[in-house]
Every structure is written in C-alpha cells, then in structure tokens.
Amino acid sequence: RIFRLSRYPVVSYELAVSDGDIQKVREQLIVAAAQRPIDIAIQPEGLERRAKRMVVMDVDSTLIENEVINLLADEAGVGEEVAAITAAAMRGDIDFEASLRRRVALLKGLDEEALERARSRITVTPGARTFIRTLKRMGMKTAIVSAGFTRFANRLAADLGIDYSLSNTLELVDGRLTGDIAGELVDGPRKASFLK
C-alpha cells in the first residue's frame, strides 16, 4: 500500500510492504537513496510503530540550517573563539557543559538588537514546515529539545506550531547578555526528565 503524506514543498510517501526479502528491499532502497536526492526511513510495521504519537527534534542544524551560537558569536565578533571551543568539545577535550558555558561567556554584552539580528538570520530547513504540518495531521504531538536558547527555540516553536519546547535561557540584565545561563542547564538528564 502507498500513502501520500505531503506534497509541498516536499513530497513524502509511506509504502507499506508485506512480502519479500527485507534485507534485499533495504539494500535496494539504500542504493536508490544514494543515487537520488531523497531520504528513506525503513521501519518494521506493527502496533508499536503505529502507537507512537510524539516526535521530538533537535533545533540547530536539524530543524534550522544554522547553529544559533554561531550566529550570536558573529554578532559579538567572537566567531573564531567559539568555533575553537566547539571543535575542542567535538574532540572530547572539553565536556558539554563546560564548552557551552565558555561559549556563552564570550557573548557577554550583546544587546537585544544583536539578538534580534541573529534571529532574523535563522533559516528553517526546507521541508520542516511540511514535516510539522504532516505530523500534526497524523495526530502527533511535537517537541523541540535543544541545548540552544529559549529566545530562539520558543519563537520557532510558536511559528511552526510545535507543541513543546525545552532549551537553555540566556541571562539578560538591563537588555544585555551577562554571559551566563539562567536556570537549570539543558543536558541529557534534563532532556530525559522533560520527555517523561
């Protein structure tokens, strides 16, 4: 059976296959995906898959094409320093919390106008709006969980019609960033608690 899930700006279909060698089907679909500009997800059919009713997504370089911390770093003139800390974290030289706090500290002094300029440069990933609309039409709840920042994630959630949003809060005093994160840091355990 074939079901069309969306048609604009991306076309998506669900194909329910009930016979054949699953390994051969998987191999051929992987080849097809490599040869054409398409994405394919293969899932076993069953009650467990049909019972899923929530989709949780990351934000940076997923729902949007940008990394918000990099947009903010550009506004603060500290792009290279932030990139170096990010690279060190990716290599495992610095843990997640320390790298995030060090990068946020470099943003100290940015004002509301700079934050708004960074927000205006965010590009939603092509097809994201259709993806969210399709999920909603299927009765799914949607959430974004991000180590990014509430000022950006919450507006994105409102704009796209996403049900829930969790992210870090940049501390502002007198309209300027202090270089700190307000409240509890969004890390693995916090994400798990939010999901529950």
Q: Give per-residue pLDDT as tens, 31-40.
A: 998 998 888 8
Strand segments (E) across the chain: 2-6, 12-15, 54-57, 141-149, 164-173, 176-182
Which residues are annotated as catalytic?
58, 60
What residues contact residue 29 under an 8 Å CB cut-off, 6+ apart? 40, 42
Q: Give per-residue pLDDT as tens, 88-98.
A: 998 999 998 99
Pick from 54, 65, 63, 61: which is nearest to 157 by CA?
63
What's residue 10's pLDDT? Answer: 76
What's residue 1's pLDDT? Answer: 84
